[in-house]
Structure 1
Amino acid sequence: MYRFGLFCSLSDNSLSTNRTINLKNLKYENIEKKLLQNAEELVKLLDYCEAKDYKVFRLGNSFIPFLSHNLFEDSWLESIKYILEETKEKIFKYSTRITIHPGQYTVLNSPNEMVVQNSLRELERVFWLFDQLGINNEGTVLIHGGGVYGDKASAIERLIKTIEENSWLKKRLALENDEKIYTANEILNICNFCSIPMVFDIYHHSLNPSSFEAKDILKTWGEKRPKIHLSSKGEGRFGKHGDEIFLKDFIELKNMFKEDTKDIDIMVEAKNKEFAIEKLRNEILENNE
């Protein structure tokens, strides 16, 4: 059986870990209310994942809304700990792996030092959240390589420098290849240098190709279970994910990772989420893949 994962919510948003507020409404009472709702729905979503045999779940970025914003008061961290402690006790029984993918503004190689510091604050708070929830080191925190800023070599050097100077990042941080800037081979080299895992995205690779050995990506994970992303082309803008997963894209992934594919956590990034996973599973069985 292949190990598939669900991200953030159900397709109809009836259950979600991404309930948020408007920034203008940022005050403790509103944060507490949304966190309570997200935490309650996380437990229900993990129940759902267990029932469906989904092995990975990606937590929504707004599980605690505006957690790293400079208007988020440090004292609130202590005040919301009771919710996280209660949630930790509830999710302890589940075997589903929990990960997270902070948004596009989490950039570690910007030439603007303030951007980097804000990104480090975001990651520090997310790491804190995972620790409070009792999520083990399999719970990776994934970001992209960042920008080029007119000089890719210098941008890569800054990314490596930031990671090496903040070695605490290596506890959970993973990097992903993207569809425009950093190829799989470039991210693989960075991950090898910094000794952090690489999340391979096969759709991004199809849009921004490079040469590499699939086994080398898996090796970056060390003792952790490797994780990769699977999506198919959608209609519209460049890089948009489709509603479903085309079987041919899964087969391409399987051909790339061969016998290791069943030992990898595959996050399905399709708009129809759980329906896309079930459709893909059925097609795999029908085609004896």
Structure 2
Amino acid sequence: MPHPRIGFACQYRHPVRSLSPAELKLIETPFNPRTTTLRWMDSVAAPVARDKLVEVVTHNLAAQLRLLAYVAQLPAPLRMLRLSSDLLPFYSHPKVRDFYQEPAIQTWLGEGFAAIGALAREADIRVSFHPGQYCVLGSDRPDVVENSLAEFEYHADMIRMMGYGVRFQDLKCNVHIAGRLGGEGTREVLPRLSAVARNCITFENDEKTYGVDECLKLADLAPVVLDIHHCWVHEGDYIAPHDPRVQRIVDSWRGVRPTLHYSQPQESLQELGFSADQKLEMPALLEVVSKRDLYAHSAQMWNHWSNQYALQFADRFDIMFEAKDKNLATLAFYGAYMEARGEAAV
């Protein structure tokens, strides 16, 4: 059985947090994506806006390579990374998309993303994407659906240029079921996605409307990503590692090792009397906070009970951490828990 992996999302954090913001920015910026705004681009001459896009994309391609090189030197269980959705600003926007379709730009992007994909494969880094909240495939508004399809295909284009998307789940591109039409609306539009997109798409349960059961209704179409924090908030209790639904989630991956998402509510709960060593029970929490207060992610994985709970899934799942401290959260968890379990494979 392969060693379990834990990963982080999109951005690098320097471990010495006592440095000034300016010092941290100087160190971290080479690893992290930059962007611009449509308002600024509309306010300047077209050649100036074009030069800015070229500058930003040049930085972002190099930054993604640097971040992958950082991950490549980590122990094998830490070689898992969610790539940034912001590498190509406004790629699917009508005002900008013609720029990205120019033959010279396509060649340049193809070379840049091919290098990203080659490094990920060479270093055996499990990479993924997660389009943002505005990718709503189940909307009842046709314009939103069209924009969402274009946004997902933006990710599919990056996946294709990286050399992935050629077979089922060689890379995960995850979305939430969202929109008034929910899973049925998503099912209806899924055939409109490209083959690359359909090879990579996964559906994740959320904390508000579309939980695990709704995602499993689409398991015949694509794998389900179990988010155990969202499930806890949505259902008011922790899903058991051997709940029959968990096996159905594993089966939806059709032999590929599944990915699980893991986060915790914010550390400020400790100021309200909730210990890092105790199980966070929903009824007790809701006496002092609202359910919405539990949506926000913590900086680190501070609750020990929750960490031990999450590790019960590690025999079958790789785990993507959604923590504000990014790589620092995975490093701390790895040192505190995985090494002690003898899972510090290198």
Superposition TM-score, scaled by structure 2 size: 0.74
Please list, as runs of the form range in 1=range in 2, the aligned pairs for 1:242-281 lying within 5 A after superposition: 242-245=298-301, 246-255=303-312, 257=313, 261-281=314-334
Rate the CA distance shift 1:83–1:267 in 2: closer, same or farther, 3 A: same
Partner of 1:240: 296
- Structure 2 contact 99–105 (Cα < 8 Å) conserved: no
- Indicate yes or no: 2:255 matched with 1:199: no
Partner of 1:51: 73
Alpha-carbon shift at residue 98 of structure 1 (Å): 1.8
Please give the alpha-carbon distance, in whole angstroms, between the structure 1 residues aligned to 2:125 and 2:324: 21
SS in 1 for 2:175: strand
Please give the alpha-carbon distance, in whole angstroms, between the structure 2 residues aligned to 1:278 and 1:140: 23
Q: Of the candidates 84, 93, 99, which is equivalent to residue 128 of structure 2?
A: 99
Segments of 5+ residues of structure 2 without an aligned counterpart are 15-27, 42-48, 269-291
Please list, as runs of the form range in 1=range in 2, the aligned pairs for 1:179-198 lying within 5 A after superposition: 179-192=207-220, 194=221, 196-198=222-224
SS in 2 for 1:142: strand
- Structure 1 contact 6–267 (Cα < 8 Å) conserved: yes
Q: Of the candidates 92, 96, 114, which is equivalent to residue 72 of structure 1?
A: 96
Please give the alpha-carbon distance, in whole angstroms, between the structure 1 residues aligned to 2:258 and 2:223: 8
Alpha-carbon shift at residue 282 of structure 1 (Å): 2.0
Please list, as runs of the form range in 1=range in 2, the aligned pairs for 1:7-46 lying within 5 A after superposition: 7-12=9-14, 13-26=28-41, 27-46=49-68
Q: Of the candidates 87, 90, 115, which is equivalent to residue 89 of structure 1?
A: 115
Rate the CA distance shift 1:84–1:275 in 2: closer, same or farther, 3 A: same
Backbone CA RMSD of aligned residues: 2.3
Query: Could you tell me which amino acid in structure 1 is paired with residue 330 of structure 2?
Result: I
- Indicate yes or no: 2:191 matched with 1:159: no
- Structure 2 contact 6–319 (Cα < 8 Å) conserved: yes
Please give the alpha-carbon distance, in whole angstroms, between the structure 2 residues aligned to 1:57 and 1:66: 22
Alpha-carbon shift at residue 167 of structure 1 (Å): 6.5
- Structure 1 contact 17–39 (Cα < 8 Å) conserved: no
Please give the alpha-carbon distance, in whole angstroms, between the structure 1 residues aligned to 2:192 and 2:97: 26
Please give the alpha-carbon distance, in whole angstroms, between the structure 1 residues aligned to 2:53 and 2:96: 9
- Structure 2 contact 183–215 (Cα < 8 Å) conserved: no
Segments of 5+ residues of structure 1 without an aligned counterpart are none
Alpha-carbon shift at residue 24 of structure 1 (Å): 2.1
Query: Could you tell me which amino acid in structure 2 is paired with residue 202 of structure 1?
Result: I
Please give the alpha-carbon distance, in whole angstroms, between the structure 2 residues aligned to 1:31 and 1:16: 18
Rate the CA distance shift 1:48–1:71 in 2: closer, same or farther, 3 A: same
Please give the alpha-carbon distance, in whole angstroms, between the structure 1 residues aligned to 2:126 and 2:151: 21
Once structures 1 and 2 are overlaid, which stretch shifts more, 11-20 or 47-56? 11-20
- Structure 1 contact 241–271 (Cα < 8 Å) conserved: yes
Partner of 1:130: 159
SS in 2 for 1:80: helix
- Structure 1 contact 138–225 (Cα < 8 Å) conserved: no
Query: Could you tell me which amino acid in structure 2 is paired with residue 179 of structure 1?
Result: E
Higher Rg: 2
- Indicate yes or no: 2:201 matched with 1:145: no
Please give the alpha-carbon distance, in whole angstroms, between the structure 2 residues aligned to 1:75 and 1:66: 10
Please give the alpha-carbon distance, in whole angstroms, between the structure 2 residues aligned to 1:166 and 1:233: 35
